[in-house]
Amino acid sequence: MEKSRRRSRKKKSSNFIIQGSILAVTSIIVRLIGILYRIPLINIIGDEGMGYYNTAFNIYSIMLLLSSYSLPLAVSKMIAFRMAREQYSNAQRILRASLFYATVVGGIGAAITWFGADYIASELFVMPMCVYALKTLAPTVWIMAYLGVYRGYFQGLGTMVPTSFSQVFEQIINAIISVTAAAALFQYGLKANLVYEAADYPYAFGAAGSTIGTGAGALTALLFLLFLMGSYRKVIKRQVHRDVTKRMESYGQITKILCLTVVPVILSTAVYNVSTIIDNGMFGKCMEKLGQGKEYIALWGIYSGKYRLLTNVPMAISNALSSSLIPALSRAVASKNRGQISSRISMAIRFAMVVAIPATVGLTVLAGPVHGLLFSGDNALSIKMTIVGSTAVVFFSLSTVTNAVLQGINHMKLPIRNSLISLVLHVICLWVMMMVFHWGIYSVVYSNILFGFFMCILNGFSIRHCLHYRQEVLKTFVLPTIASGIMGAAAYGTYRLVHMVVASNAVGTLAAMAVAVIVYGILLIKLRCIDEVELYGMPGGAKMVRVAHKLHLLS
């Protein structure tokens, strides 16, 4: 009986892991859909078209950072704090104030993207033709601001399901419209080439077509969440009716708190992610000075369209954990429960590493087979990038979660400081690698890894200083690394053996992945990286425990 009670308490305290896992699974599905539709997209618009597309998307991402990317985190943090104290009326006021904020900043972001597109494309990135894709993305900035508020609201209520479903719907519509519109506009660009006696219109128009899908997907997700809000209205009214809050927060006060919450998140996240924009601009300028400007667009397309696409899939786990960790930590801070704060930090970091470390090993040993499975043409360069740059998965996963920890415990300035220091070191390393050692696109890969590494070190020191917290090492880092090494050997051996028998890259790759999952799962349990109670705290944990007992993996 006592064991059952402990298990129940453990499951309750690890609810944020369950919610984070739901969002993580969804994020992986979304990323996989992204990979699947990028395959025909790359085949349609080529590496040059992907260069235009990804450059425009980098600017769009910065506009999202400034206008809406921080809203889910900030709104969820504020809503979770009020809901923990049963201040339901104040929670609704936060929602209304956040929607007004989204209207203002989303509109400003959309206007800057539209009217500044020509200058940004021509002067900052030496890519005048990406202006079409950038202008097409401008309305989406506004839509995403509202979408961010509603996603943050539901996350603050402690559920990731609405966000998860909206992301899946968004990506499905995005995939269908992107490929269809890119193909249509690519053909239109061929006709424009004949009229203007140019060569770049198909790639530029094709990239713009793919960004139409981004806007259509965002609009679909927003309509879905609006439908859920309408369905949830009766519950909201009942909560507000029984609210016993004596002091109602004014909209001015809420807006001030929202800005004080949003701005640090914006700054830390913007600095944290602006490295890609700097990489893009610096790489273009340096390649031009080195007399290799013509190679720049295609190289950037390979880096951002293939290497970053693959490494971003496992990073979705840490992003999802961060989304669930911030409101969970906010609730723990509100209740002043230091034990719960420490346990949630420990579980989040360990869970992120249990996923990121094997993902790094898997990308390294199966880089060639995975590229052959997903991308047509010559993938030699992107395969090398993946092999030498796969460790970025570990560093960025850990730094993302530790960023969320600092934000969740209300030390909002520390991630900003750590990001700025890391960014300065990153820029110095990139310039030296480009202009002194002439490492080309690998300069971007290596400096990107170093940026994540610097963030991990600085965030680790900050968390230790604020909470006197030390992360457990053996089960978090050492044992997953040992298990991942054995898993990598088994996966590579399986691929070589199957490929030798059936001479099929697809069959060999899928078989290697299946073996990797099974071997790693067994090793996690046998090496006691995860125990029975922790398994119960994961989605589908009861089934996993039953299977583990049947296989005599658990004593």
Evaluate whether residue 205 is within a structural domain: yes
**Is the pLDDT higher at 348 or at 391?**
391
What pLDDT score does 214 carry? 92
Average pLDDT for residues 1-7, to the nearest whole number? 46
In this structure, what are the phi and psi dihedrals at residue 436, rounded to the nearest 5 degrees?
-100, -50
Confidence of residue 487 (pLDDT cuts 50, 70, 90): very high
To the question of pTM greater than 0.85 for the whole model, the response is: no
Average pLDDT for residues 378-407, to the nearest whole number? 91
Asked which of 448, 471, 494 is the last residue of a domain, the reply is 471
Q: Exposure pattern of 37-60 as b/e (b: 16+ CB <10 Å)?
A: bbeebbebbbbbbbbbbbbbbbbb
Average pLDDT for residues 414-419, to the nearest whole number? 89
What pLDDT score does 6 carry? 47
What pLDDT score does 17 carry? 60
The answer to whether residues 247 and 317 belong to one domain is: yes
What pLDDT score does 11 carry? 47
The Cα 508–Cα 550 span in angstroms is: 29
The Cα 138–Cα 262 span in angstroms is: 21
As a whole-number percent, the residues of the chain with pLDDT over 90 amount to 37
The Cα 368–Cα 384 span in angstroms is: 9
Check whether 476 has a pLDDT greater than 60.
Answer: yes
Q: Average pLDDT, whole number, for the chain?
A: 85
The answer to whether residues 149 and 251 belong to one domain is: yes
The answer to whether residues 450 and 549 belong to one domain is: no
The answer to whether residues 406 and 504 belong to one domain is: no
Least confident of 265-279, 294-308, 381-395, 407-421: 265-279
Residue 113, classified by CB atoms within 10 Å of its CB into exposed (0-12), middle (13-18) or buried (19+), is buried
Question: Which domain covers residue 59, as residue numbers?
Answer: 9-471
Asked which of 410, 439, 471 is the last residue of a domain, the reply is 471
Evaluate whether residue 139 is within a structural domain: yes
* Token pair recorded at residue 530: 């995860």
The Cα 115–Cα 133 span in angstroms is: 13
The answer to whether residues 374 and 513 belong to one domain is: no
Evaluate whether residue 204 is within a structural domain: yes
Confidence of residue 68 (pLDDT cuts 50, 70, 90): confident
Check whether 63 has a pLDDT greater than 80.
Answer: yes
Evaluate whether residue 1 is within a structural domain: no
What pLDDT score does 254 carry? 86
How does pLDDT run across 284-295, given as a tens digit for each residue? 889 988 888 778
Evaluate whether residue 3 is within a structural domain: no
Check whether 383 has a pLDDT greater than 70.
Answer: yes
Check whether 267 has a pLDDT greater than 60.
Answer: yes
The Cα 463–Cα 398 span in angstroms is: 13
The answer to whether residues 455 and 511 belong to one domain is: no
Least confident of 31-45, 175-189, 515-529: 31-45
How does pLDDT run across 395-406, given as a tens digit for each residue? 999 998 898 888
Question: By C-alpha distance, which of 528, 519, 494 is closest to 509?
Answer: 494
What pLDDT score does 249 carry? 82
Evaluate whether residue 4 is within a structural domain: no
Check whether 112 has a pLDDT greater than 80.
Answer: yes
Check whether 296 has a pLDDT greater than 90.
Answer: no
The answer to whether residues 447 and 486 belong to one domain is: no
- Please tell me whether residue 335 adopts helix, strand or coil conformation: coil
The answer to whether residues 15 and 139 belong to one domain is: yes
Would you say 408 and 329 are in contact if contact means Cβ atoms under 8 Å apart? yes
How does pLDDT run across 130-153, given as a tens digit for each residue? 889 999 999 999 999 999 999 988
What pLDDT score does 323 carry? 61
**Is the pLDDT higher at 274 or at 436?**
436
Evaluate whether residue 2 is within a structural domain: no
* Token pair recorded at residue 63: 């506009």
Would you say 353 and 345 are in contact if contact means Cβ atoms under 8 Å apart? no
The answer to whether residues 550 and 409 belong to one domain is: no
The answer to whether residues 406 and 531 belong to one domain is: no
Count of CB atoms within 10 A of residue 108's CB? 16
What pLDDT score does 10 carry? 47
| DSSP secondary structure of 351-387 | HHHHHHHHHHHHHHHTHHHHHHHH--S--HHHHHHHH
What pLDDT score does 272 carry? 63
The Cα 517–Cα 428 span in angstroms is: 39
Check whether 179 has a pLDDT greater than 50.
Answer: yes
Asked which of 420, 439, 471 is the last residue of a domain, the reply is 471
Check whether 259 has a pLDDT greater than 80.
Answer: yes
In whole angstroms, how far apart are CA 460 and each of 56, 302, 359, 402? 34, 33, 22, 7
Least confident of 87-101, 227-241, 529-543: 529-543
Least confident of 3-17, 260-274, 447-461, 518-532: 3-17
Check whether 129 has a pLDDT greater than 60.
Answer: yes
What pLDDT score does 1 carry? 44
- Cα 77 from chain centre: 18
Least confident of 159-173, 244-258, 444-458: 244-258
Instruction: Give residue 213's identity as a one-letter amino acid code.
Output: G
The answer to whether residues 455 and 517 belong to one domain is: no
Q: Give, to the nearest 10 degrees, the angle between helix 308-334 and helix 15-64.
A: 120
**Is the pLDDT higher at 459 or at 341?**
459
Report the domain count for the chain.
2
Check whether 128 has a pLDDT greater than 90.
Answer: no
Mean pLDDT highest for which of 68-77, 151-160, 174-183, 337-346? Answer: 174-183
The answer to whether residues 457 and 532 belong to one domain is: no
